[in-house]
Amino acid sequence: MSAETKLLYQASEFPVFQNRMYDTKSEAQSCPRGQITIVENLTTGLVSNVSFDPDLLVYDAAYQNEQANSAPFRTHLDWVAGAGAGKLLPTLPKDTRILVMNPNNTKEIKAMSDNVFTYVEVGA
């Protein structure tokens, strides 16, 4: 760690997916694993996993990211005023700007009117 960062959390041999389906218990137990090193940049406040390794991620037919299949998660979505499944965006004030970031790209979402949004590529 450099002097500009603070270690917040660290774990090893952590499954890289929380939402990949496996056919057998044995397959699940031998799933790909990676390291987690969560640090805070003390200058910017940005929190990130500096050990993130995108090469460990393989998205295939067994990858299941539809959280709404879970009744507890649907209850959670209702509790947070419908934030899931795109219900939050239409509730935002006109001209709200959101920056969405992931390891593959960065996009800016700008609310143009009640239900119309423009997605602007910021960087890759």
First and final CA of the chain: distance in angstroms? 26
Report the range of poorest mean pLDDT among 26-30, 47-51, 106-110.
Answer: 106-110
Helix residue ranges, H only, the chain:
25-29, 71-79
Q: What is the 3-state secondary structure (H, E, C) of 40-51?
A: EECCCCCEEECC
Sheet containing 106-111: order of strands: 97-101, 106-111, 117-123
Q: Are 33 and 14 in contact (CB under 8 A)?
A: yes
**How does pLDDT run across 88-104, given as a tens digit for each residue?**
666 667 777 666 655 55
The pLDDT of residue 34: 95
**How does pLDDT run across 40-65, given as a tens digit for each residue?**
999 989 999 999 999 998 888 888 77
